[in-house]
Structure 1
Amino acid sequence: MNTKDNACKRETRRRIREALAAELGLQGSLDRVTVTALCQRAGINRSTFYASYHDVFDLAEQTCAEISQGMSGLFRGDEASGPNHLEILRHIYDNQEAFRLGFKLGIGDGPILRWDIYEEASRPADAAHEPMAIERHHAEFFRAGFNAIVRMWLEAGCQETPEEIYEVILGMVR
């Protein structure tokens, strides 16, 4: 495996994602973003872009799939504690550009905690019942707050460590 090529490819993908996030901010929607504008902003040629993506929608779709794939395993905590939120924060920190783009693409309210994943991960394996209304409301409140904190953290460039953000979140739920 050629690690230099892999590092270059990762760097190119990062620059393309950053370019897409910037263009989304300027254009307002994905259908107004052009491959030409992305390539100019990322400092690459069109053939480099097309080597990885069919179009801007494919870029967005691959980014969303990567976020979902990376997050799905992190929601499998043990039955007593549920998801490991510190590990989720570490994953976000390690993949900042993908998550910034995920928020800009409007994946739900954000790509971090979705109700269906949170509900499934928080329910004991043998529980077949629907969660009570209070559980659903609590989970939705927590999910929205978690997403808001993560969005702010990402927008500020993740200046705090994942552990510091985790302490902020713990302080709010105590």
Structure 2
Amino acid sequence: MSQLEKCDRRSLRSQRALRQALASELAESGDLSRINVASLTERAGLTRRTFYSHYRDIPDFINQIEDGLLAEIRERIELITAAQLPDLYHNIDELEPAPGSVELLRYLAANRDLIGALLGPGGDQAFIKRIIDTAREAVVPRAQTGILGLALGTFFDYYVTYVVSAEVGMIQRWFERGLTESPEAMARIMTVLAFVRPGDLYGQPIDINVPEYGMKLLNLQLEDAADTAATVESNN
């Protein structure tokens, strides 16, 4: 083994140790703001010099950790978005979860200490926003493929935001419950909840013509814009 390979392996071991130390520190203190280099390196069994050879400071360390997590999460979200609607319908008919969803939840569960701590009340609230943004970026291009034109625009923007935020919220709740459900069971729950309509749980389902509803929204927006323009013109 070359000297360079030894250095690379040593570097990876150090970074893994710091990552595990962060998860342990967060689990113990429950507060990201209390993390400091001294306590982190002591728990990891490393020197401060080793820490600073990889990171500028704690914010840079956290940011790089989150970047790595988000890259892994995005890869798995893209597996979900790669599925065609017939694939999804087939899985639902077979009482199976959405394609790719189990792989994503298994990854989250495998990294439960760190991800759970970052998602928790003492973690990084900005990390939650970054997860939502990452999911939106991955979902939007695929979601627009073949979509009815009437559903685009403002309606589509809020729709994607609603869906992604709801999914992230369920994952947060899953962690709060201590990952009681297995990734497989949770994937089924999340799949079926995505299709629950108002009233379904009460035996009174409500059917909505979504494209027509979207067009009504668009017309209201155009009317509002026209009224605003008319008001501005009259004031001038």
TM over 0.5: yes
Question: C-alpha displacement at 1:161, in angstroms?
Answer: 1.6
Structure 1 letter corresponding to 2:68: E
Specify which structure has the higher proportion of helix. Answer: 2
Q: Which residue of 2 aligns with 1:17?
A: 22
Shift in CA distance, 132/107, structure 1 to aligned 2, threshold 3 Å: same
Q: Which residue of 2 aligns with 1:132?
A: 153
Bigger Rg, structure 1 or 2: 2
Question: Of 103, 110, 116, which aligns to 1:87?
Answer: 103
Q: Which residue of 1 aligns with 2:124?
A: 105
Question: Of 78, 81, 91, which aligns to 2:82?
Answer: 78
Unaligned runs of 5+ in 1: none
Q: Which residue of 2 aligns with 1:153?
A: 174
Unaligned runs of 5+ in 2: 89-98, 196-236
User: What do residues 96-154 of structure 1 show as CA deviations (whole Å, max 9, x unaligned)?
Assistant: 23423543222353454433332234232999999333332232222122111211222
When the two structures are aligned, how many residues end up with a matched partner? 170
The farther-off stretch of 74-83 and 58-67 is 74-83
User: What do residues 20-54 of structure 1 show as CA deviations (whole Å, max 9, x unaligned)?
Assistant: 5347733x63xx53211323455554345345433
Shift in CA distance, 14/60, structure 1 to aligned 2, threshold 3 Å: closer
Question: Following the alignment from structure 2 to structure 1, what is the Cα–Cα distance between the partners of residues 194 and 112?
Answer: 25
- Percent same amino acid at aligned positions? 18
> 1:20·1:101 contact (CA, 8 Å) conserved in 2?
no
The farther-off stretch of 148-157 and 14-23 is 14-23
- Mapped pair 1:141 → 2:162: yes
Question: C-alpha displacement at 1:93, in angstroms?
Answer: 1.8
Structure 2 letter corresponding to 1:99: I
> 1:75·1:84 contact (CA, 8 Å) conserved in 2?
yes
Question: Following the alignment from structure 1 to structure 2, what is the Cα–Cα distance between the partners of residues 11 and 18?
Answer: 11
TM-score, normalised via structure 1 length: 0.71
Question: Following the alignment from structure 1 to structure 2, what is the Cα–Cα distance between the partners of residues 150 and 119?
Answer: 20
User: What do residues 73-113 of structure 1 show as CA deviations (whole Å, max 9, x unaligned)?
Assistant: 22333363498333221221222234235432223534544
Secondary structure of the equivalent of 1:107?
helix
Question: C-alpha displacement at 1:169, in angstroms?
Answer: 1.1
